[in-house]
């Protein structure tokens, strides 16, 4: 029967993909050839430094491009990148960058200061729609240009004094300005390449594709297979190529964290972006564990809509915060992968430590709730916690719900919403209490404290305080010394936390699995990785006693 | 037969048009937009973005613009992946998903038909109960459970096969194909058992046996053609289902197919990507249903006679 034979033939086709053993693993071949296999979390939206946002994009873009200054991978202190040195005026408002004469684009052309002027023009142009344009707002007139309040870019404080000298004038001394030079939104792009494919402000052009892209970092783009992998290889024209050890990197869009961990175990990856919570105890118990955990510049907190009863009453907000046992929460639900938080700024943010105005104190919490008119929870009108659908957020919300019930005898409902619906609810302020997280863009308390200025885009709490605004927007930027500036931050943050428009829960940590053959990835507050410094040591093997 | 095909094609046009229109307005009515993010977007930036994607136009103008582009085969730019068109993303994901679907279906056919025929030969005996019991488990077991189980056994403990990737390492296509195909194999097993049971009780089978043909010839040369008609009818929708439903397997095994884009597009409110994949997949489903109807008609002598008579 012909049909039956056809069926057999079809099956034979599938039978040809026979099991033949997995052979040499990625880690083995990578170690042999000098290629790192890197779990990158997701497919990047793109590789245009002025268009993309997000962590997976950051890893690749910062390998392909380099800023004027880069962060030291251990200390995060700025060190020379494209600029071999810089001078800062006495009043701290004029930065003069001297470009390294050896700094080259990947097509061999010399980098010039005017490339930066052009690139910052592009980044700030309102038509480009760069979500990170605000990174350059410390520069004179940058904000006005970006908001179309002025149209002459010459008025913006960035000038090419000559081919190798770039002068940047700031509105006020900005202690974190050099850090911003390592953020991809301030990177230079190659003007001719961008213009070959379209207008300066076009977002859609294919200039970042393989074969078109011209970059200036330690690596160049070799292959970009959508949702499969991105391969970069060591650049031939990079000024410091002698110190680049890797021959290249494979980035995988490892969206599924469980699969990513299995890939690591099967030695298909050198490095994972995250580690599933339930696997952490196993990894921790190992000798020479590949599990690396470090404090991360981010805070997980509950936003409070201060216009909605019953949380419009500061006594209720304080009662809720006092009744929360953060130590237990981080130890049990989060398996010691987080640090209890009592304020918005993470501890030791470049030497700044936030105030701790309260602690776990159920007695005091009950007294505050009684004072607010709900003794032992009587007459409590109910409260809803909104979070975006994710198992980790649900577990925390359930724990918080139970703690508040136990300590305050109040009923809490929890409600999950799909991500975009949740974002919409938060921005429209249609919530009572909502989960929130904030990851710093640069290591400075300002990046956390300016969230809560009146009507700020990320405030969403209804918190408004003129004195707070004045400190953050006017007084702190003009502070003469670091001590004075930090004292002002401390005052503002104490004021804000006293009003409690948020309930801080924990400070994030970064969690990775790193193969023992990899060296040069250092834990730091920004989870910042410079692939230039990574080396591979094939003789170091993975201890594979994991179940 | 040609009239039958033409008539079915004509019927498909309004179906696809309704799908486009409903999807277009539904995605735009969902709360949250493509540019919403955890970090507030400055109003001037949002305006610039909306202008670049024509979202500043009134809804009906957006709809007309979309239909105009679509009529020229242009599915528009992706919102989530600036610089990539939906056509390009579909073009990169479809071959992978189709290949995965083909392997999964081949696996499903091989295992399913074999088990179904085997069971039908001795109904209500152990030879029937065991494969059918396994088939029931196969239908019930979701791929998000089977996939990780196969990975643990064959990828981690035995270390025979790679556990992720597609075409990167030898043998990395085996586990995803089996995971995706197994539920279909189970379904095909039940269909072919039922089909075979019906055919094996027909008079012409009894005649064949009475003529002294060996049992294997009775099965392969006489019973199989009729017994597999329900399976053929199922293949079209099954293949379309495999293409549209491979999301879980693609996620578990890090496969760069269409399914991941399709589901992520909904989460990202990537309007053009949602529309593009929906339009594309619904067209495929209509198309594969048509093909399987035609093949089933061709295999069934009674229906074939009807078409010849000009039905």
B40 secondary structure, DSSP code: P
Strands A83-88 and A158-162: unpaired
73-92 of B, contacting A, C-beta below 8 A: 77, 80-84, 89, 92
Chain B closest-CA separation from residue A353 CA (Å): 24
Same domain, A316 and A346: yes
pLDDT exceeds cutoff 60 at A219: yes
Beta carbons within 8 Å of B210's beta carbon, 6+ residues apart: none
Strands A248-252 and A229-234: antiparallel
How far is B103 from B126, CA to CA, in rounded Å?
Answer: 30
Same domain, A184 and A302: no
Query: Considering only alpha carbons, which residue of chain A is nearest residue B38?
Result: A423
Query: Considering only alpha carbons, which residue of chain A is nearest residue B167?
Result: A228
The pLDDT mean for chain B works out to: 86
Bridge partner residues of A438 (DSSP): A299
Chain A closest-CA separation from residue B124 CA (Å): 25
pLDDT exceeds cutoff 50 at A6: no
CB B103 to CB A14 under 8 A? yes
Same domain, A105 and A183: yes
Chain A closest-CA separation from residue B251 CA (Å): 6
Region A129-146: mean pLDDT is: 93
Task: Note down the domain range covering A429.
Answer: 294-509
The pLDDT mean for chain A works out to: 91
Query: Which of the two residues, A346 and B304, has the higher pLDDT score?
Result: A346
Among A182, A208, A234, where does a domain finish?
A208
Query: Considering only alpha carbons, which residue of chain A is nearest residue B102?
Result: A14
Longest dimension (CA), chain A: 92
Region A123-149: mean pLDDT is: 92
Number of folded domains that form chain A? 3
Identify whether the C-beta of residue A526 lies closer than 8 Å to the C-beta of residue A495. Answer: no
Q: Count of CB atoms within 10 A of residue A289's CB?
A: 17
Q: What is the pLDDT of residue A544?
A: 56
Q: A132: domain CATH number?
A: 3.90.76.10
As a whole number of Å, the end-to-end CA separation of chain A is 50
Q: Considering only CB atoms, which chain B residues are within 8 Å of A48?
A: 82-83
Chain B closest-CA separation from residue A543 CA (Å): 14
3-class DSSP state of A248: strand
Q: Considering only CB atoms, which chain B residues are within 8 Å of A22?
A: 155, 159-162, 169-171
Phi-psi region of A250 (alpha: psi -120 to 50; beta: other; left: phi over 0): beta
A285 secondary structure, DSSP code: T
pLDDT exceeds cutoff 90 at B11: no
Same domain, A518 and A485: no
Express each pLDDT in B82-105 by its tens digit. 888 899 999 999 899 989 999 999
Residue A546: inside a domain:
no
Same domain, A314 and A387: yes
The pLDDT confidence band at residue A346, using thresholds 50, 70 and 90, is: very high
How many residues are given for chain B? 311
How far is A183 from A136, CA to CA, in rounded Å?
Answer: 10
Same domain, A236 and A306: no
How far is A404 from A379, CA to CA, in rounded Å?
Answer: 15
CB B30 to CB A133 under 8 A? no
Residue A357: inside a domain:
yes
Does B37 contact A at CB distance below 8 Å? yes
Q: Considering only CB atoms, which chain B residues are within 8 Å of A419?
A: 32, 267
Same domain, A372 and A456: yes
Beta carbons within 8 Å of B242's beta carbon, 6+ residues apart: B100, B101, B104, B105, B180, B184
Among A184, A208, A232, where does a domain finish?
A208
Residue A127: inside a domain:
yes
Query: Considering only alpha carbons, which residue of chain A is nearest residue B94?
Result: A226
pLDDT exceeds cutoff 90 at B52: no
Strands A229-234 and A219-225: antiparallel
Q: Considering only CB atoms, which chain A residues are within 8 Å of B41?
A: 131, 457
How far is A470 from A476, CA to CA, in rounded Å?
Answer: 9
Q: Which tokens belong to B257?
A: 């197919």
Query: Considering only alpha carbons, which residue of chain A is nearest residue B299?
Result: A3
pLDDT exceeds cutoff 70 at A15: no
Residue A389: inside a domain:
yes
CB A46 to CB B83 under 8 A? yes
pLDDT exceeds cutoff 80 at B195: yes
Residue A49: inside a domain:
no
Q: Considering only CB atoms, which chain B residues are within 8 Å of A10?
A: 106, 109-110
Chain B closest-CA separation from residue A368 CA (Å): 32
pLDDT exceeds cutoff 60 at A39: yes
Bridge partner residues of B300 (DSSP): none
The pLDDT confidence band at residue A19, using thresholds 50, 70 and 90, is: very low
CB B171 to CB A19 under 8 A? yes
Q: Which of A14, A130, A420 is opposite residue B107, by nearest beta carbon? A: A14
Chain B closest-CA separation from residue A422 CA (Å): 8
Quick one: how far is CA A486 from the chain centroid? 23
Same domain, A74 and A188: yes
Same domain, A427 and A373: yes
pTM: 0.87
- What are the C-alpha distances in Å from B274 to residues B20, B157, B267? 10, 39, 10
Q: Which tokens belong to A503?
A: 């309930």
Express each pLDDT in A189-205 by its tens digit. 999 999 999 999 988 88
pLDDT exceeds cutoff 90 at A274: yes
Identify whether the C-beta of residue A24 lies closer than 8 Å to the C-beta of residue A234. Answer: no
Bridge partner residues of A169 (DSSP): A94
Residue A140: inside a domain:
yes
Q: Long-range CB contacts (< 8 A, 24+ apart) of A279-288? A: A279/A546, A280/A335, A280/A337, A280/A511, A281/A335, A282/A546, A282/A547, A283/A513, A283/A546, A286/A543, A286/A545, A286/A546, A287/A543, A288/A516, A288/A543
Tell me the HSE value of B304 on the side-chain side, using a 13 A CA sphere: 6
Same domain, A314 and A440: yes
Express each pLDDT in A225-270 by its tens digit. 988 999 999 999 999 999 999 999 999 999 889 889 999 998 999 9
120-179 of B, contacting A, C-beta below 8 A: 148, 151-152, 154-156, 159-166, 168-171, 173-174, 177
Residue A54: inside a domain:
no
Residue A343: inside a domain:
yes
Tell me the HSE value of B183 on the side-chain side, using a 13 A CA sphere: 20
* Residues of chain A above pLDDT 70, percent: 95
Same domain, A259 and A282: yes
ipTM for the whole complex? 0.82
Chain B closest-CA separation from residue A387 CA (Å): 13
Same domain, A384 and A475: yes
How far is B228 from A136, CA to CA, in rounded Å?
Answer: 68
Beta carbons within 8 Å of A480's beta carbon, 6+ residues apart: none
Identify whether the C-beta of residue A345 lies closer than 8 Å to the C-beta of residue A299. Answer: yes
Q: Is B189 exposed, middle or buried (0-12, 13-18, 19+ CB in 10 A)?
A: buried
Q: A460: domain CATH number?
A: 3.10.105.10
Q: A29: domain CATH number?
A: 3.40.190.10
């Amino acid at each position: 029967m012909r049909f039956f034979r056809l069926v057999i033939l079809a099956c034979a086709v599938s039978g040809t993909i026979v099991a033949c053993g997995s052979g040499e693993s990625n880690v083995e071949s990578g170690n042999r050839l000098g290629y790192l296999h890197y779990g990158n979390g997701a497919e990047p939206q793109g590789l245009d430094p002025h268009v993309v946002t997000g962590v997976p994009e950051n890893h690749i873009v910062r390998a392909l491009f380099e800023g004027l200054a880069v962060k030291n991978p251990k200390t995060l202190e700025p060190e020379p990148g494209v600029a071999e040195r810089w001078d800062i005026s006495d009043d701290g408002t004029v930065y003069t960058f001297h470009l390294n004469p050896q700094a080259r684009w990947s097509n061999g052309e010399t980098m010039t200061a005017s490339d930066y002027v052009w690139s910052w023009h592009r980044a700030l142009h309102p038509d480009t729609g760069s979500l990170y344009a605000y990174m350059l707002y410390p520069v004179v007139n940058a904000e006005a240009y970006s908001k179309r309040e002025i149209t002459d870019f010459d008025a913006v404080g960035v000038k090419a004094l000559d081919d190798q000298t770039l002068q940047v004038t700031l509105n006020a001394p900005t202690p974190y300005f050099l850090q911003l030079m390592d953020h991809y939104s301030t990177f230079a792009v190659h003007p001719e390449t961008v213009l070959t494919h379209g207008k300066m402000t076009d977002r859609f052009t294919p200039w970042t594709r393989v074969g078109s892209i011209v970059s200036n970092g330690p690596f160049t783009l070799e292959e970009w297979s959508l949702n499969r992998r991105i391969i970069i290889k060591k650049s031939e024209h990079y000024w410091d190529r002698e110190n680049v050890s890797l021959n290249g990197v494979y980035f995988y869009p490892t969206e599924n964290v469980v699969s990513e961990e299995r890939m690591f175990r099967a030695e298909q990856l050198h490095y994972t972006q995250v580690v599933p919570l339930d696997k952490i105890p196993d990894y921790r118990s190992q000798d020479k564990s590949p599990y690396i955990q470090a404090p991360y510049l981010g805070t997980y907190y509950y936003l409070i809509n201060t216009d909605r009863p019953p949380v419009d009453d500061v006594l209720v907000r304080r009662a809720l915060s006092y009744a929360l046992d953060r130590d237990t929460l981080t130890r049990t639900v989060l398996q010691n992968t987080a640090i209890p938080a009592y304020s918005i700024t993470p501890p030791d943010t470049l030497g700044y430590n936030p105030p701790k105005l309260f602690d776990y104190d159920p007695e005091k919490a009950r007294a505050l709730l009684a004072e607010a008119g709900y003794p032992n929870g009587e007459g409590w009108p109910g409260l809803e916690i909104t979070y975006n659908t994710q198992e980790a957020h649900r577990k925390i919300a359930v724990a918080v719900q139970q703690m508040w019930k136990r300590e305050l005898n109040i009923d809490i409902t929890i409600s999950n919403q799909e991500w975009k619906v949740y974002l919409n609810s938060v921005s429209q302020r249609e919530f009572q209490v909502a989960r929130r997280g904030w990851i710093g863009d640069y290591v400075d308390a300002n990046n956390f404290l300016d969230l809560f200025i009146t009507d700020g885009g990320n405030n969403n709490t209804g918190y408004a305080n003129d004195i707070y605004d004045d400190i953050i927007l006017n007084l702190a930027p003009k502070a003469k010394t670091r001590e004075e500036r930090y004292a002002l931050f401390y005052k503002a943050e104490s004021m804000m936390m006293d009003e409690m428009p948020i309930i801080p829960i924990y400070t994030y940590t970064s969690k990775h699995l790193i193969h023992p053959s990899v060296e040069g990835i250092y834990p730091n507050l920004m989870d910042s990785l410079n692939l230039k410094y990574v080396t591979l040591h094939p003789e170091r093997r993975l201890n594979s006693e994991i179940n | 037969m040609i009239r039958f095909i033409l008539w079915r094609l004509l019927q498909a046009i309004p179906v696809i048009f309704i799908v486009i229109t409903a999807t277009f307005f539904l995605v735009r009515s969902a709360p949250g937009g493509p540019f919403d993010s955890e970090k507030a977007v400055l109003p001037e930036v949002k305006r610039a973005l909306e202008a670049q994607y024509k979202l500043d136009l009134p809804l009906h103008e957006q709809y007309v613009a979309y239909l105009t582009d679509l009529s020229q085969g242009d599915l528009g730019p992706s919102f989530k992946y600036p610089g990539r068109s939906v056509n390009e993303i579909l073009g990169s994901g479809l071959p992978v998903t189709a290949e995965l679907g083909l392997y999964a279906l081949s696996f499903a056919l091989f295992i399913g038909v074999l088990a179904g025929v085997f069971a039908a030969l001795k109904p209500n005996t152990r030879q029937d109960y065991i494969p059918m019991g396994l088939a029931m488990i196969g239908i019930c077991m979701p791929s998000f459970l089977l996939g990780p189980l196969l990975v643990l056994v064959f990828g981690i403990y035995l270390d025979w096969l790679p556990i992720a990737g597609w075409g990167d390492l030898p043998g990395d296509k085996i586990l995803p194909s089996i995971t995706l195909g197994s539920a279909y194999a189970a379904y095909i097993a039940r269909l072919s058992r039922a089909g075979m049971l019906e055919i094996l009780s027909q008079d012409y089978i009894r005649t064949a046996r009475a003529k002294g043909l060996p049992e294997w010839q009775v099965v392969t040369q006489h019973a199989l053609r009729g017994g597999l008609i329900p399976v053929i009818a199922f293949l079209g929708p099954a293949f379309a289902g495999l293409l549209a439903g491979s999301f879980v397997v693609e996620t578990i095994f890090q496969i760069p197919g269409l399914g991941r884009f399709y589901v992520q597009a909904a989460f990202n409110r990537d309007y053009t990507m949602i529309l593009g994949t929906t339009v594309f997949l619904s067209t495929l489903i209509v198309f594969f249903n048509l093909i399987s109807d035609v093949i089933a008609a061709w295999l069934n002598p009674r229906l074939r006679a009807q078409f010849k008579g000009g039905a």
